[in-house]
Structure 1
Amino acid sequence: MHMPPFRLAQTQRLKLSGDDAAGTGLRAADACCSAPSKAVAPNTKRRARLTELDNHLHCSIIGTCLSTHELRKLVPKFTGLDRRDATDLEIHHSAVELAIDGGAGAKALHKSLDEHYAAAIRRFDQAADDVALLALWDEALKNGDIPPAYWALMTHPYATLYVRQKAFGDLHMLSHLVGAANRADIRRLVALEAENAELKEKIERQQSRLQEIGTQRDATIAALNEQIVQLTALATRQIPADDADLEAQLQRLREKLADADQRIALHTSRREAAEQRVAQEQGAAAALRKSRDQALALLKVAQSECDALEQATLDASDTSGNTDGGRASLASVRGKRIVYVGGRPGSNAALKRLVDAAGGDLVLHDGGVEDRKGLLAAALPGAHIVVFPVDCIDHDSMNTLKRVCERHQIDYHPLRTASVASFVELMARLHPVHLEQLAQGGHAPASAFCLRHG
């Protein structure tokens, strides 16, 4: 088992005198505390350096107060690690080694921390003793603003061993609580930090590019203005015979300046137009993906309908007389009463012949085009299945059909189209056991609702 970062401070024992310590059998201080240390003593007039802190504190300070993105920009400058290929653990380990070894790397880390948390350092500088320092630390724990407070406390002049130990212990236990309760949040945070780092790098590259373009433009304008001033001063000193040449040269320089401004404006407009085209192409690609998914779904349905119709055709052309088992595609409708509402006259007649040939009873109703709508409710009782194509039926008839089927507890199935293939595919898809159960038990018992009075 690994030892803790440092031993707990024996604050009560340190207050005993030498005689009292000898009488009680307690040491005045532990060996680790009495050993020479490079840490800065408390109550000095300056803050402690990162390299002056206890070596065991560097890991918590680096891991808490500096993000991985910041370390990837800083650590490779002082080590042989690759900025992109190195793992987060290698970057963190190298940063801790830089802090322990001191030198330029430790100074750069200390400077980065001071720049990030300057406001917290100023706030903690108001503490006049270790009690006030701990009060500020407890307030930061309650507010959740831990990284700035942790760095400001660890380097504060009044940060004693006990103060640093308490802050380290609070942070250590908080890491346990966070790791146990928020594993999913940590994974999302890591992904968001990676995405944020990529976006920051992209923004930095764009800003640097724009800054270079702006610098070049400013330099060009400054050079042209300087030439204009020189030529203007030269023109005032030359004889009047050269005024026309100087004026022409001055005009050419002004035209060059205007042309440079136009090119910059042109490139800016092209960039904006390209960004707009990218956004439009992304929207078009999303629409195409959606259309493709719909087409694939429709193709799958059409393929199943074609397969069912082909199987029905093969079964109809089978002259062997074998109609039992699963051979016949429409064998499941034998002895069943099926009500078909809507559709087209030609396909309805073909469906009537197919169902009759399979031994079933198909009752046709056009939904109110020529047949009376009042006959629709009367035709449903006693039916095993109700079928209607959604493309060849009016909304009023479809709503009436669904309402009556629900009252009488009759299964109803919408068809994609009024084609023979859609009907055959539905009959093949419906489980024969389900239809047999409906046939054996008959239709559901009559509903208690009245069709006229509700």
Structure 2
Amino acid sequence: MAAMAVPLDVMPPTEPRWSSRRRRIWELGSHAHCPVIGVCLPIAQVRKLMDKVLGGQTLANDYELHCGVNAECRTRNPVAEAVNKALDQRYERALREARALKTTEALTQWWQQGATSGHSLPGTLWATLTHPRCDTALEERVLQAVHMLQHQAGAADRADLARLEALTHENHVLGRELAAAQQRTTRQADTLNRRIEQQQAELMRLRAELMRRDTLLALAQEDLHSLEARVPELHSRQALSDQVAQQLERLQDLERNALRARHEAQRERHRADTLQAELERLRPPSPEAEALASTGAEVCVSVDALRRELAERSVLCVGGRQGSVPVYRQLIEQVGARFLHHDGGEEDHAARLDHTLASADLVICQTGCISHEAYWRVKDHCKRTGKRCVFVDKPSRASLQRALTHLGDAPLDASAPTFSSPHP
């Protein structure tokens, strides 16, 4: 809104006004209407007020609307009364504060305090100009100060506009850079996910191939036992001799096939372990994996000794967290042993534990994750059969590695060591 200078030649007379009634807007000099309406009423509220008073939509632009309202406020009419009422309602709090001021000096001091605060300036202006103790000198001082503040506000608005344009440009640049960074991150994440999926698929294929070779090896061993059992049933010595020669030749072939299959299985197992390690490296580390890694770094397992001790033997793990079973399987199978597992009565029925115990050559009992009944079943079975049993108190990779380390230091037929001696 255009700032208007206060014409000094139209100032009202200087005689004091000591009426106890507040002045209305049409009682102010015309030189006060422009700053009062321009500062105290937003143009949008002025337009809404005029639409209500005139009963229609005001088509004038902002400047024309401002000038027209100023002209109407010179006399008492519906427009002036509506403007005066809107100002009284909008600045009711400032008017209440000003009513307590009984002298011109007090009113002057109150105006000076309010004029320094931008958010309270409109209310202070309206309350001061309409106050009964506002004389001509104070009115002139107030209008001059408002006139200069309007000039300063215009300069500040222009500076703010320039800063806003600069910040808008900077925001657009940063927005483009952020979008490019997000696209790069998305592409990198997609590439990493595809690599993980490929590694997982390859690992599943290798495990399936390993299971197929183990099945072929078992079938070959069954054929070998069947051939050995049929040898005494031959009817003649010649036939028996011929059969023995054939069986020996077939046995040699089977042994060579079994040896080749075992070597191939070991190579596939080593390759699966390598892929598993690569997959673990690519995955973001979880808090549990970091804890396992920090504990496992302190344990050194003699793999060659364990492979010689546990090759082709069945190792039963009783208990343990369900999510850690693949870790237990990896540790047992990488030393050449067969992995068996029973959850210790959590989901698998405890009665099935006896059958599983009978199939094992070595039992590792994780006492912290099994039921009371399963604990005593394991202890009674191993004591009764003389089977070696290792008790582990904590269900972790590090505890299992320490148990396997002790196995590598002593033969499997030695008395079973017990770790931690827990009491479930």
Structure with bigger RCO (C-alpha 8 Å, 6+ apart): 2
Q: TM-score, normalised by structure 2?
A: 0.36
Q: TM-score, normalised by structure 1?
A: 0.34
Specify the structure having the higher radius of gyration (Cα).
Answer: 2
